[in-house]
């Protein structure tokens, strides 16, 4: 039987945690305060958290911790790329753990959230109980090229790609990240907003095989588009502020930690071969390929797999604790 999301719940506590002189990150907790602590890392960069992210986890078994990464969502200021790179985000995660007085926790996330989860685990393996990851992204040049250059995802969505490159007006066709950099660093606010919406629309269209006919009319939340576009571009333009193949080169740090990896066969944002390659190098990771799913965390097969995975992991952690 296919699983649905757990019922809607409210958080029992929320706050804005000051992490430096610029940023306060939105942080919330829901579920069972005495349950297994789990941190969910949203995608993007800049995607922000969703109330539905709480619903992947059994609220009776889990202490569910969600936050908006610096510069997006309800965090302040937002959108913002100031003092915003991967090392800062990793240290924010560790500050949250210490702030909440958590000894060890489960780390979960989707897309860009998997990148952060893996880097955090590599740097702090001693505090990680396990991983549940959906839609693996490793932050490599091959992945950027797939998304933004010709002969990648463009081959499957040529008409959508034309909408994506339209703000560049024929310039920088061989280097779209540089072209968007010129727009995002300019003072032309009208052009900047239009470019942000085009960037956001490209990823939305690639993200799902269940929900079609996504057009510019669906980009109603300008703040979400600004956060997603400006932060994603900021990170990808700077190669996610990590060395090429950083995660695979350091996977031995987390090789003993159990992981459940879930990936849609028709994921057009993060192609499946990335997840397959990761599991080849990670002896304690299992890969579940979803035969009729894309990239979105809220397609039916993905919801089913994630909720089942959180149940399996909860039972495993409770058994090993005895």
Over residues 93-107, the pLDDT tens digits come to 999 999 999 999 999
Selected residue with higher pLDDT from 117 and 321: 117
What local confidence, expressed as pLDDT, does residue 210 receive?
A: 80
In the chain the domains, ranked by start, together with CATH numbers, are 13-138+244-321 (3.40.50.1820), 142-240 (no CATH)
**Upper half-sphere CA count for residue 295 (Cβ side, 13 Å):** 23
Residues 6+ away with beta carbon under 8 Å from 209 = 264, 266, 292, 293, 294, 299
**DSSP summary character for residue 66:** E
**DSSP summary character for residue 276:** H
What local confidence, expressed as pLDDT, does residue 62 receive?
A: 98
- The pLDDT tens digits of the residues spanning 153-174 come to 999 999 999 999 999 987 777 7
- The pLDDT tens digits of the residues spanning 179-205 come to 999 999 999 999 999 999 999 999 999
Q: Is the predicted pLDDT of residue 231 greater than 60, yes or no? A: yes
Residue with tokens 């309800």: 74
Q: Is the predicted pLDDT of residue 117 greater than 80, yes or no? A: yes
Burial 74-105 (b: 16+ CB within 10 A, else e): bbbebbbbeebbbebbbebbebbbeebeeeeb
- The pLDDT tens digits of the residues spanning 1-17 come to 678 999 999 999 999 99
Active site residues: 111, 267, 295
- The pLDDT tens digits of the residues spanning 35-53 come to 999 999 999 999 999 999 9
The mean per-residue pLDDT over the stretch 110-116 comes to 98
Give the separation between CA 322 and CA 317, rounded to whole angstroms. 9
């Amino acid at each position: 039987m296919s699983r649905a999301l757990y019922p809607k719940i409210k958080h029992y506590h929320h706050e804005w945690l000051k992490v430096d002189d610029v940023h306060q990150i939105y942080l919330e907790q829901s579920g069972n305060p005495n349950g297994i602590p789990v941190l969910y890392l949203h995608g993007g960069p800049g995607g922000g958290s969703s109330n539905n992210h709480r619903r992947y986890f059994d609220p009776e078994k889990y202490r569910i911790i969600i936050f908006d990464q610096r510069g997006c969502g309800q965090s302040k200021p937002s959108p913002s790329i100031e003092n915003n790179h991967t090392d800062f985000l990793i240290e924010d995660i560790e500050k949250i753990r210490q702030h909440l007085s958590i000894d060890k926790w489960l780390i979960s996330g989707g897309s860009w959230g998997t990148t952060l989860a893996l880097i955090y685990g590599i740097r702090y393996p001693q505090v990680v109980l396990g991983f549940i990851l959906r839609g693996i992204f490793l932050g490599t040049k091959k992945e950027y090229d797939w998304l933004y250059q010709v002969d990648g995802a463009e081959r499957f969505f040529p008409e959508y790609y034309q909408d994506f490159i339209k703000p560049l007006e024929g310039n920088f066709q061989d280097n779209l990240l540089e072209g968007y950099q010129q727009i995002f660093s300019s003072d032309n606010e009208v052009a900047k907003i239009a470019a942000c919406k085009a960037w956001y629309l490209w990823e939305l269209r690639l993200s799902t095989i269940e929900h079609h006919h996504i057009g510019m009319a669906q980009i109603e939340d300008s703040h979400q588009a600004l956060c997603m576009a400006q932060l994603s571009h900021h990170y990808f333009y700077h190669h996610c502020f990590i060395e090429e193949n950083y995660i695979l080169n350091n996977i031995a740090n987390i090789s003993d930690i159990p992981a459940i990896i879930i990936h849609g066969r028709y994921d057009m944002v993060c192609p499946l071969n990335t997840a397959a390659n990761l599991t080849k190098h990670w002896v304690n990771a299992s890969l579940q390929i979803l035969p009729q799913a894309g990239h979105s965390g809220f397609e039916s097969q993905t919801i089913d797999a994630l909720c089942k995975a959180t149940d399996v992991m909860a039972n495993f952690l409770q058994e090993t604790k005895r």
